[in-house]
């Protein structure tokens, strides 16, 4: 009887061992996954154990090293879950995680933790804030105003900074462009948020690319620099505008100063000056920097016109409005307009324009073209006319004139030449001469050579300078390129030289 009781005790004890308390934990799934959020779902069963706590743990590693642990309230068996938000724990975007559920039990003073199997999930890529770059305004040669708008936070928990990045290459970044931050907070409740920034020290005539940037903080550790689509603008060339307010001062006999107001970004210029009435771009052109030009070596008592334009490398502005000025008369101004009024086979009449109304005395150097000038001068008083006689027919002569303003003298004129006629040419019949018409003329003169055997045609200005030479008589020639004035047509034929005075008005 005692042995039977012992057997029953052993059997009872074994039965008690088999049916002792037990907890089973199952990881159901992970739902509501975003870039930084997720919800963990699990359940557990309990057959008599004392449950102390439950929850989840997750890690970047499959062995759960460095895992984050989170308790969930309640000890009743069944479903339980935990939702991660930025305000509590956090996840990183586009990252693989390992998660498992756990239940902790207590037997007496002994604790034990039961784990589910692990579950793997991947967070989504972060959705950046939505921002757009708006059109640039106030675009000047070296500055512009940029503007942008933030319309949505995306997955960002906060936006810790904003501004613009710009440069001369497409799609600028913090590494390739210039960043300019814009102060002021951005909250989700304050959207849309528009912000602006003025940028300076730009280059003229340059295309710039720009984008907005936002510093998006998705959780406590991950901050991303997000860029909008790019926009572009082009700064104007400094030479798109014409310098203005061209003036003159300090005009002397040989010098004058010009002043002007540059446009923004302009520091290099060209001055075009010449005798009054000249066309812009066809005078003497000199480079200058700054906003002032000093003109030197001018002729006394002459009227000048001048223009200014900005120079930007190979790009130029248009010419400015004209400014005119007249230099002071020289102490003894140089004469001008030297020309022949009448040439015969043995005589000639040469006239000129005095350098000033007070000039009444001049000196002449005169010789055959092939000979040196004599050591003595011929003096002319009162009237600016020189009439040499006893000349050799069909011979070229040269001469220079200077004013004698005792005790001062003007400079000598440029050398003037003319050729006397062949003996008897002035009495020849008209039918061998070339007809030149109309005279005066607006621009073009015409020739009718009739029966003349022409060898050469030369055109001289009033100063005796050869402007054009041809071997035969043309039907016509346009003298407009030489300007208004008096011209002398020398027509050389077998019978001598025919000289025709033509006025272009």
What is the pLDDT at residue 471? Answer: 83
If one compares 86 and 242, the residue with the highest pLDDT of the two is 242
pLDDT tens string 355-398: 877 889 999 999 999 999 998 888 999 889 998 877 889 999 99
User: Which of 146, 126, 156 lies closest to 230, judged by CA?
Assistant: 146
**Cα 199 from Cα 183, distance rounded (Å):** 15
pLDDT tens string 199-246: 999 988 899 999 999 999 887 777 889 999 999 999 988 888 899 999
The total number of residues written for the chain in this structure: 505
In contact, 436 and 502? CB cutoff 8 Å? yes
**Cα 146 from Cα 138, distance rounded (Å):** 9
Q: How confident is the model at residue 16 (pLDDT cuts 50, 70, 90)?
A: very low
**Cα 471 from Cα 108, distance rounded (Å):** 134
Beta strands in 204-353 (DSSP E): 207-217, 223-227, 231-234, 244-249, 256-261, 268-275, 284-289, 292-295, 303-312, 315-316, 323-326, 336-343, 348-353
pLDDT tens string 234-255: 998 888 889 999 999 999 988 9
pLDDT tens string 50-70: 999 999 999 999 999 999 999
In contact, 359 and 408? CB cutoff 8 Å? no
**Cα 188 from Cα 133, distance rounded (Å):** 19
Q: Mean pLDDT over residues 453-470, rounded?
A: 78
**Cα 358 from Cα 301, distance rounded (Å):** 12
User: Which of 134, 142, 135 lies closest to 199, judged by CA?
Assistant: 142
| Virtual torsion, Cα 172, 176, 178, 184, nearest 10 deg | 60
User: Which of 61, 62, 59, 15 lies closest to 40, judged by CA?
Assistant: 59
Q: Is 293 in a helix, a strand, or coil? A: strand
**Cα 15 from Cα 13, distance rounded (Å):** 5
**Cα 418 from Cα 400, distance rounded (Å):** 12
Q: CA distances (Å), 153 to each of 87, 215, 383, in order? A: 16, 11, 96
Instruction: Give the Cβ contact number of residue 490 at 10 Å.
Output: 20
User: Which of 141, 148, 176 lies closest to 164, judged by CA?
Assistant: 148
Instruction: Give the Cβ contact number of residue 99 at 10 Å.
Output: 24
What is the pLDDT at residue 130? Answer: 95
Q: CA distances (Å), 90 to each of 35, 39, 115, 451, in order? A: 10, 11, 22, 112
Torsions phi, psi for 360 (to 5 deg) = -135, 5
Q: Which helix (H) or strand (E) holds 198?
A: strand 193-199
**Structural domains in the chain plus CATH codes:** 19-122 (2.60.40.10), 130-234 (2.60.40.10), 242-326 (2.60.40.10), 342-419 (2.60.40.10), 428-504 (2.60.40.3080)
pLDDT surpassing 90 at residue 157: no
Q: Mean pLDDT over residues 249-262, rounded?
A: 93
What is the pLDDT at residue 141? Answer: 87
pLDDT tens string 160-178: 999 999 999 999 999 999 9
Instruction: Give the Cβ contact number of residue 476 at 10 Å.
Output: 9
pLDDT surpassing 70 at residue 426: no
């Amino acid at each position: 009887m005692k042995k039977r009781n012992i057997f029953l005790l052993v059997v009872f004890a074994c039965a008690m061992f088999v049916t002792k308390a037990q907890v089973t934990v199952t990881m159901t799934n992970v739902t509501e996954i975003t870039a930084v959020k997720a919800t963990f779902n699990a359940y557990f069963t309990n057959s008599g154990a004392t449950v102390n706590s439950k929850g989840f743990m997750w890690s970047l590693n499959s062995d759960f090293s460095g895992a984050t642990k989170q308790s969930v309230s309640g000890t009743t068996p069944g479903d339980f879950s935990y939702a991660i938000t930025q305000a509590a724990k956090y996840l990183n975007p586009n990252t693989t995680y390992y998660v498992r559920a756990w239940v902790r039990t207590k037997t007496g003073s002994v604790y034990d933790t039961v784990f589910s199997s692990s579950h793997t999930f991947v967070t989504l890529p972060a959705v950046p804030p939505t921002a757009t770059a708006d059109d640039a305004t106030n675009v000047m040669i070296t500055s512009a105003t940029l503007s942008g708008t933030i319309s949505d936070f995306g997955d960002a928990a906060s936006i810790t900074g904003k501004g613009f990045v710009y440069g001369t290459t497409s799609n600028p970044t913090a590494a390739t462009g210039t960043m300019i931050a814009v102060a002021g907070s951005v909250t989700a409740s304050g959207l849309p948020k528009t912000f602006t920034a003025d940028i300076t020290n730009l280059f003229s005539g340059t295309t710039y690319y720009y984008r907005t940037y936002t510093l998006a903080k998705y959780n406590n550790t991950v901050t991303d620099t997000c860029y909008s689509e790019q926009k572009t603008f082009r700064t104007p060339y400094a030479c798109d505008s014409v310098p203005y307010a061209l003036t003159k001062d300090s005009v002397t006999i040989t010098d004058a100063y010009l002043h002007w107001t540059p446009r923004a970004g302009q520091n290099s210029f060209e001055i075009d000056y010449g005798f009054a009435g000249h066309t812009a771009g066809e005078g003497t052109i000199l480079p200058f920097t700054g906003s002032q030009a000093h003109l030197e070596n001018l002729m006394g008592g002459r009227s000048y016109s001048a223009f200014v334009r900005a120079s930007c490398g190979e790009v130029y502005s248009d010419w400015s409005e004209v400014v005119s000025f007249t230099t002071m008369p020289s102490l003894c101004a140089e004469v001008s307009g030297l020309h022949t009024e009448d040439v015969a086979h043995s005589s000639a009449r040469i006239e000129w324009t005095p350098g000033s109304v007070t000039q009444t005395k001049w000196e002449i150097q005169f010789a055959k073209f092939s000979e040196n000038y004599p050591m003595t001068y011929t003096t002319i008083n009162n009237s600016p006319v020189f009439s040499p006689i006893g000349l050799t027919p069909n011979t070229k002569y040269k001469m220079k004139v200077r004013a004698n303003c005792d005790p001062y003298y003007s400079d000598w004129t440029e050398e003037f030449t003319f050729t006397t006629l062949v003996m008897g040419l002035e009495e020849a019949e008209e039918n061998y001469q070339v007809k030149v018409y109309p005279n005066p003329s607006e621009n073009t003169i015409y020739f009718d050579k009739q029966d003349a055997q022409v060898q050469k045609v030369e055109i001289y200005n009033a100063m005796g300078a050869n402007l054009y030479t041809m071997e035969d008589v043309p039907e016509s020639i346009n003298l407009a390129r030489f300007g208004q004035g008096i011209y002398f047509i020398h027509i050389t034929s077998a019978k001598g030289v025919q000289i025709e005075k033509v006025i272009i008005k």
